[in-house]
Amino acid sequence: MKKKKILSILLVSAMTVSMFAGCGKKQEAPAEGESSGDSKEGGITVAAIETAYGSKMWEDVCAAFTEETGVKVELITDKNLEDVIGPSMQAGDYPDVIHLATGREKALTETFIKDQNIVDITDVLSMTVPGESEKVGDKIAGGFTETSLTNPYGDGKTYLAPMFYSPCGLFYNAGLMKEKGWEMPATWDEMWELGDKAKKEGISLFTYPTTGYFDAFFYALMYSVGGPEFFDKATNYEEGIWDSEEAKTCFDIVSKLASYTEPTTPSQANDQDFTKNQQLVLDNKALFMPNGTWIVGEMAEAPRAEGFEWGMTALPAVKEGGDSYSYTWFEQAWIPGGAKNQDDAKQFVAFLYSDKACELFAGAVNAEGEPAPAIQPVLGIADTLEGDNQMFYGIYDNGAKAAMGNFAAYDSGVVGVSNREVWFDPVNSLVSGNITEEEWIEGIKKNNDQMRENLIK
Amino acid sequence: MKKGSGRSRFVFLCAAPAVLLFMIFMIIPTINVFRMSLFRRSAYSVNEEFVGIENFARLMSDENFIRSMQNTILLIVVVTIVTFAFALVFAAILTREEIKGQNFFRIIFYIPNILSVVVISAIFSAIYDTNNGMLNSLLSLLSGKTVAILWKGETVVMTSLIVAMIWQAIGYYMVMYMASMASVPQSLYESAGLDGAGRITQFFQITLPLIWTNIRTTLTFFIISTINMAFLFVKAMTSGGPNGASEVALSYMYKQAYTNSSYGYGMAIGALVFLFSFGLSALVNMVTRREPLEF
């Protein structure tokens, strides 16, 4: 009996001790941090999403930054960056610089924008690039620091630094167009004519990877229909804007496009199967899809129709002689409000626009070792490009205007809906015929007021 | 007396670590979910604003939430009934009948359970593919004309999910039923056979009543696991699309909490799902209560 009791006590104490051992480790961790904290005192933590550009370029840039300024950088890169830095941020431990674009499913950047939890970096623009004599603001190409993507609250202050830009437009098989002798449509009317011609050959006019790709498409469409003025009003949810003539034109074009869309598209328009939709273009089953320059690297290994050649065009004009627009998609780097070493973080952001960093980014290779240049939005960079990229980035030299910006940020007063759900997801149902254009517009109008009332001013 | 207090102190000390761990990792987080459901906040908010039951009130008029709940209930009902029926019948056949390759079938049925949901979604993506998928090719072969059903399209996406979930679940429950069927004494069947009871009568009169406790347990499992597995399947197969047609309660909660930065609203959904699954399990438990039979 006594033996049994002693044994139980032993077991329980073993369990208790092991439990405290767990706590002990926790206490140890910060202790370790402290010891390395001496060297970290001037150091920063940089968290960067690993995308099609690979993560090697970030290692190189961080090393170059340390070499230039002597500030140590601890780098975190991951394809699911939100899952890696999210838990520690919920516990109050923030990286000093985060490179993560808006428009991701987990919407971490949007969350910080809504919470107004991002450091104002307007002063970085007037800082000198480390190791150079030029100012950051003079190096960044025009327009990039004036959009709602970088100045989300429309107060003239910059909170997010523009990174890696990519022109978006309609991607197609240039080889097929040549082979069939089809002209590139300059207006939407010509587009529909081409759609009818292609239909006779069993080719659909249009497909899209997921409805998420409609943002760039729709923004460019709004620009080409009503110019920057209409775009600003619409993205600020102005009252009655969706009843306007311009809005009607946009909706009509998307609805008509839906009727020309390859019928299997909606069932594959999810995060798992979207490459099947992209494959439709490679297989000559669909002519156009909205996309960005990363598509070339993304589908590099995919089989394709004979004579396939990537082509990219801006959105057709609404009327003959009208403007055609190509949306400029870019990513963002920002400093979270909880960053401890904000001065060095700002230095790092400034360094991202140095010639050295731009060169390292442009020389990026992806995980398969293929070149995947990440292009910083600095002046004169497009001249240094080669191959497909020369054509893609040259789109603005060929008459297309650049469309930039997005829907204005609203605060947490908007609950339960998002722009994508309201504006773009219903396109799936338009294509499959489960809703009508009127129902789509009705849904938009219903939510527009809610968003306007909660705009962050 | 002294011995008594020493003993209770001993018991207290023995139980303390487990209770403490349970408190820290189960009770407190659960309470926290309920607390956060009363606030307006994002996942990383510095400030939070108390809004009372506003989140819950909003849920009641949120069409997308109602649709996701409908989908969840549809899955619970259909997946449970079909899986339950198939698993029972297969288990009965494999334990009661002598067929060749029994073990082979047992393994075959169990394999889907070992596979991760991501693998299963990949398999079903290949099956459901509209242009080159197995299902459409098979149907085309049988019907003699090209069949192009959009298995992940808005109208049939839930059916496609149900089929995949049933396929995944049958083996697990089958093995559970087999284990309890094997412990039913052979003599009962023999004497029933002498009395002239056929196989079907034996199944309903002997097997079912004697494994009833096991069935009750699995029914609770069905409810909890369907709610959880539905999230994984939806995430891996459809991302809730097209246009929210395959959204289930937990995937909708995740979407609100993270994608839409409405953490408090998401937690309100979490709280409701918690109560719903708790209530449903209790209800099923109550309805299926029988005097346990001894053998």
pLDDT tens-digit readout, A282-337 = 999 999 999 988 888 888 889 999 999 999 999 999 988 888 899 999 999 999 99
Task: Write the DSSP symbol of residue A146.
Answer: G
Q: What is the pLDDT of residue B123?
A: 92
CA–CA distance, A407 with A419 (Å, rounded to integer): 8
**Closest CA–CA distance from residue B13 to any residue of chain A (Å):** 8
Q: Which amino acid is at A68?
A: E
Across the interface, whether the CB atoms of B260 and A425 are under 8 A apart is answered: no
Whether the CA torsion B284, B77, B122, A206 is positive or negative: it is negative
Q: What is the pLDDT of residue B19?
A: 93
Q: What is the mean pLDDT of residues B178-188?
A: 92
- Residues B68-120: pLDDT tens digits? 999 999 999 999 999 999 999 999 999 988 888 888 988 899 999 899 999 99
Nearest C-alpha in A relative to B148:
A264
> Measured between CB atoms, does A324 come within 8 Å of chain B?
no
- Give the residue with greater pLDDT, A295 vs A7: A295
Across the interface, whether the CB atoms of A428 and B154 are under 8 A apart is answered: yes
Across the interface, whether the CB atoms of A416 and B64 are under 8 A apart is answered: yes
Which range scores top for mean pLDDT: A217-226, A369-378, A404-413, B48-57?
A217-226
ipTM of the complex: 0.83
Residue A270, classed as helix, strand or coil, is: coil
Residue with tokens 């499959």: A432
Residue with tokens 């169990």: B110
Judging contacts by C-beta atoms under 8 Å, the chain A residues touching residue B249 are none
* Residue A324 near residue A315, CB atoms below 8 Å: yes
> Measured between CB atoms, does A268 come within 8 Å of chain B?
yes
Q: What is the pLDDT of residue B81?
A: 95
Runs of H (alpha helix) within chain B? 2-22, 28-36, 54-60, 63-96, 102-114, 117-128, 134-143, 157-182, 186-194, 199-202, 208-210, 212-237, 249-254, 263-287
**Closest CA–CA distance from residue A157 to any residue of chain B (Å):** 21
CA–CA distance, A455 with A153 (Å, rounded to integer): 8
- Give the residue with greater pLDDT, A105 vs B242: B242
Across the interface, whether the CB atoms of B43 and A90 are under 8 A apart is answered: yes
Residue B295's pLDDT band, with cuts at 50, 70 and 90, is low
pLDDT at A24 over 70: no
pLDDT at A368 over 80: no
Across the interface, whether the CB atoms of A115 and B55 are under 8 A apart is answered: no
Compare CB distances from A412 to B42, B121, B131 and report the shortest one's residue: B42
Nearest C-alpha in B relative to A82:
B258
**Closest CA–CA distance from residue B17 to any residue of chain A (Å):** 6
Residue A47, classed as helix, strand or coil, is: strand
Q: What is the mean pLDDT of residues A216-244?
A: 92
Cα angle: B130, vertex B253, B113; to 5 degrees:
55
Judging contacts by C-beta atoms under 8 Å, the chain B residues touching residue A426 are 243
Nearest C-alpha in B relative to A15:
B17
pLDDT at A46 over 90: yes
Pairing state between β A286-292 and A97-99: unpaired
Q: What is the pLDDT of residue A279?
A: 94
Judging contacts by C-beta atoms under 8 Å, the chain B residues touching residue A421 are 64, 244, 260
Judging contacts by C-beta atoms under 8 Å, the chain B residues touching residue A20 are none
Residue A31's pLDDT band, with cuts at 50, 70 and 90, is very low
A154-167: buried (b, 16+ CB within 10 Å) or exposed (e) per residue? eeeebbbbbbbbbb
Residue B7's pLDDT band, with cuts at 50, 70 and 90, is confident
- Residues A330-343: pLDDT tens digits? 999 999 999 999 99
Q: What is the pLDDT of residue A393?
A: 87
Judging contacts by C-beta atoms under 8 Å, the chain B residues touching residue A273 are 125, 152
Across the interface, whether the CB atoms of A270 and B256 are under 8 A apart is answered: no
Average pLDDT, chain A: 87
pLDDT at A54 over 70: yes
pLDDT at A18 over 80: no
**Closest CA–CA distance from residue B66 to any residue of chain A (Å):** 12
Judging contacts by C-beta atoms under 8 Å, the chain B residues touching residue A271 are 239
Residue B2's pLDDT band, with cuts at 50, 70 and 90, is low
- Long-range CB pairs of A140-143 (<8 Å, 24+ gap) are A140/A353, A140/A377, A140/A378, A140/A379, A141/A377, A141/A378, A141/A379, A141/A381, A143/A402, A143/A404
pLDDT at A273 over 80: yes
**Closest CA–CA distance from residue B53 to any residue of chain A (Å):** 13
Q: What is the pLDDT of residue A36?
A: 38
Question: Percent of chain B at pLDDT above 70?
Answer: 99
Q: What is the pLDDT of residue A310?
A: 93
Residue A28's pLDDT band, with cuts at 50, 70 and 90, is very low
For the record, the structure tokens of A443 come out as 């849904």
Q: What is the mean pLDDT of residues B180-198?
A: 91
Average pLDDT, chain B: 90
pLDDT at A367 over 60: yes
Judging contacts by C-beta atoms under 8 Å, the chain A residues touching residue B258 are 82, 105-108, 111
Residue A16's pLDDT band, with cuts at 50, 70 and 90, is low
Q: What is the pLDDT of residue A30?
A: 38
Cα angle: A196, vertex A200, A201; to 5 degrees:
120
Judging contacts by C-beta atoms under 8 Å, the chain A residues touching residue B11 are none
Residue A388's pLDDT band, with cuts at 50, 70 and 90, is confident
Across the interface, whether the CB atoms of A416 and B151 are under 8 A apart is answered: no
Compare CB distances from A12 to B17, B21, B238 and report the shortest one's residue: B17
Q: Which domains does chain B have, with CATH numbers?
A: 54-287 (1.10.3720.10)
Q: What is the mean pLDDT of residues B222-227?
A: 93
CA–CA distance, A383 with A393 (Å, rounded to integer): 9
pLDDT at A26 over 50: no
pLDDT at A383 over 80: no
Q: What is the mean pLDDT of residues A423-430?
A: 93
Other CB atoms within a 10 A radius of the CB of residue A452 amount to 16
Compare CB distances from B45 to A12, A86, A115 and report the shortest one's residue: A115
Q: What is the mean pLDDT of residues B54-75?
A: 93
Q: Which domains does chain A have, with CATH numbers?
A: 2-165+328-389 (3.40.190.10), 169-326+408-453 (3.40.190.10)
Across the interface, whether the CB atoms of A429 and B154 are under 8 A apart is answered: yes
pTM of the model: 0.85
Judging contacts by C-beta atoms under 8 Å, the chain A residues touching residue B253 are none
- Give the residue with greater pLDDT, B257 vs B2: B257
Q: What is the mean pLDDT of residues B118-135?
A: 90
For the record, the structure tokens of A167 come out as 């022109």
Across the interface, whether the CB atoms of B44 and A263 are under 8 A apart is answered: no
- Residues A59-114: pLDDT tens digits? 999 999 999 999 999 999 998 899 999 888 888 889 999 999 888 878 889 889 98
Q: What is the pLDDT of residue A40?
A: 42
Residue with tokens 């600020």: A236
Judging contacts by C-beta atoms under 8 Å, the chain A residues touching residue B151 are 267
Size of interface A-B (CB pairs under 8 A): 146
